[in-house]
Structure 1
């Protein structure tokens, strides 16, 4: 199965929350969640009460679509989180937050995670001074994230940082006002740093069956 190429606003409506897949549009009155109520489809208001399985499945799908990952990738993250000590759900969300495409979006270098993945694939992002073109790269404390010192790369990042509304940069990332822009990973993210309204324990209960 390939990557979803349909209207991404349908995904937000299906999950009942804003997944921030279209950049600045998601913060405006044009957002599909604001304009249209209910899930997509002809029979949206005829559906009965969701089962316990459906509730847990929706939590997993919400996280997958928010971070833009496939089922096989998600299972690998869960397996790695399950090997760690402590709460598996918290470890899972921490791993997903450490993805380079998420970090670039959280630093406001890109308007959305889909655009962030494109930036990384096209070689606009440097980690510790070296080009990294793998969106799933996991950052570590002390890593330096910067925009490539090239006019086109700098202009792309500057355009995104001048948007009408920008979400705050999380405190586990320290952005430095330089030209080209750069930032530092100060610590590992925790589940409290995740802005998506999600209950990780429901995902663990689903995948541990």
Structure 2
């Protein structure tokens, strides 16, 4: 699956979850998209349910199939619960952290900021959205980019959601990735065990 660039409301309605942010269409049309979306559908198979959960996670974090599979392999090789490890790896991505810190309003916008070299890690420009952060890493906005309208707008309207694994310094415009989050701290409504079951077949 290539990175999705189409209407986000269709995907939100497909999974009945505003995975790209607030979605007015989801409230108006609380049924799947398509000609027969509001009709009763056949019961989904176990495989279909598991596949849908994997697709939901990929859309949410903006990860391609090959990247997702590699992350799953790394999560399975790491001690601990595979599903939780997978979510921790996804949360440690640079684009996701830029989004969580409020530097960008969406993960899609965060990927663009990273790709266009507006973001630094430990003082060095990093333009790889999938870059994996380590505890103690400092994520900042490049000095020349701090006055950018989109960044200022995002920060001024930033919802002060507190994430225990992140710190944000408003004056310096830098954030710190303190540690990996625990599963209960990650707000995304993803049933990671279904993804583990899918890859375990």
TM-score > 0.5 by shorter chain:
yes
**Structure 1: gaps of 5 or more residues:** none
**Structure 2: gaps of 5 or more residues:** none
Which ranges of 4 or more aligned residues in structure 1 deviate by more than 6 Å? Answer: none
Residue 108 of structure 2 is matched in structure 1 by 114
Counterpart contact for 2:2–2:64, Cα < 8 Å: no
Listed as ranges, the matches of 1:20-169 within 5 Å are: 20-21=20-21, 26=22, 31-44=24-37, 45-151=39-145, 153-163=147-157, 166=159, 168-169=161-162
Q: SS of the residue aligned with 2:152?
A: helix
The normalised TM-score by structure 1 is 0.90
CA RMSD of aligned residues (A): 1.6
Deviation at 1:3, TM superposition (A): 2.8
Counterpart contact for 1:148–1:154, Cα < 8 Å: no
The normalised TM-score by structure 2 is 0.93
Residue 206 of structure 1 is matched in structure 2 by 198
CA deviations 1:108-136 (Å, max 9, x no partner) are 00000000000001111000000000000
Task: State the distance in 1 between where 2:66 and 2:160 align.
Answer: 30
Task: State the distance in 1 between where 2:46 and 2:145 align.
Answer: 52
Counterpart contact for 2:14–2:32, Cα < 8 Å: yes
Task: State the distance in 2 between where 1:154 and 1:7 align.
Answer: 26
Matched residue count:
200
1:189 to 169, 181, 193: 181
Residue 7 of structure 2 is matched in structure 1 by 7
Counterpart contact for 1:93–1:190, Cα < 8 Å: no
Task: State the distance in 2 between where 1:85 and 1:148 align.
Answer: 36
Deviation at 1:195, TM superposition (A): 1.3
Deviation at 1:31, TM superposition (A): 2.2
CA deviations 1:110-164 (Å, max 9, x no partner) are 000000000001111000000000000011111011111115655432210222x
